[in-house]
Structure 1
Amino acid sequence: MTEQNFSNHRRSVPGFHILLFLLLTGGIIISIINLIRHPANSGGHVSAALIVLLFACGFLISWYVRQFPIKAQDRAIRAEEGLRFFIITGKALDNRLTIGQIAALRFASNDELVALATRAIAENLSPSDIKKSIKNWRADHHRV
Structure 2
Amino acid sequence: MPTPQTLKNHARFNPLFHFAIIPLLFLNLVFSIYITIHRWPAYQHTHLWWIVMAIVFFLMAGDARGSALKTQNRIIRLEERLRLATLLPPDDRAHINELTTPQLIALRFASDAELPALAHTTLTQRLEPKAIKQAIVNWRPDNERV
State the 1:15 CA deviation: 4.0
Q: Deviations over 1:40-93 (max 9, x none)?
A: xx4311210221122112101210121111111111111111111111125255
Distance 1:79 1:138 in 2: 17
Q: How does 1:1-144 map to 2 (within 5 A)?
A: 1-36=2-37, 42-89=41-88, 90=90, 91-92=93-94, 94-144=96-146
Q: For structure 1, which segment, 133-142 or 29-38, has the greater mean C-alpha deviation from structure 2 after superposition?
A: 29-38
Matched AA of 1:32:
I
Q: Give TM-score, length-normalised by structure 2.
A: 0.83
Q: What value does the CA root-mean-square deviation take over the aligned residues?
A: 2.1
Percent same amino acid among aligned pairs?
37
Work out which structure has the larger RCO, using CA pairs closer than 8 Å and 6 or more positions apart in sequence.
2
Q: Give TM-score, length-normalised by structure 1.
A: 0.84
Gaps of 5+ in 1: none
Contact 1:85 1:93 in 2 (8 A): no
Gaps of 5+ in 2: none
Secondary structure in 2 aligned to 1:111? coil
Secondary structure in 2 aligned to 1:62? helix
Secondary structure in 2 aligned to 1:55? helix
Q: Deviations over 1:7-62 (max 9, x none)?
A: 111111344224433332333234234435565xx431121022112211210121
Q: For structure 1, which segment, 107-116 or 92-101, has the greater mean C-alpha deviation from structure 2 after superposition?
A: 92-101
Contact 2:76 2:104 in 1 (8 A): yes
Number of residue pairs matched by the alignment = 142
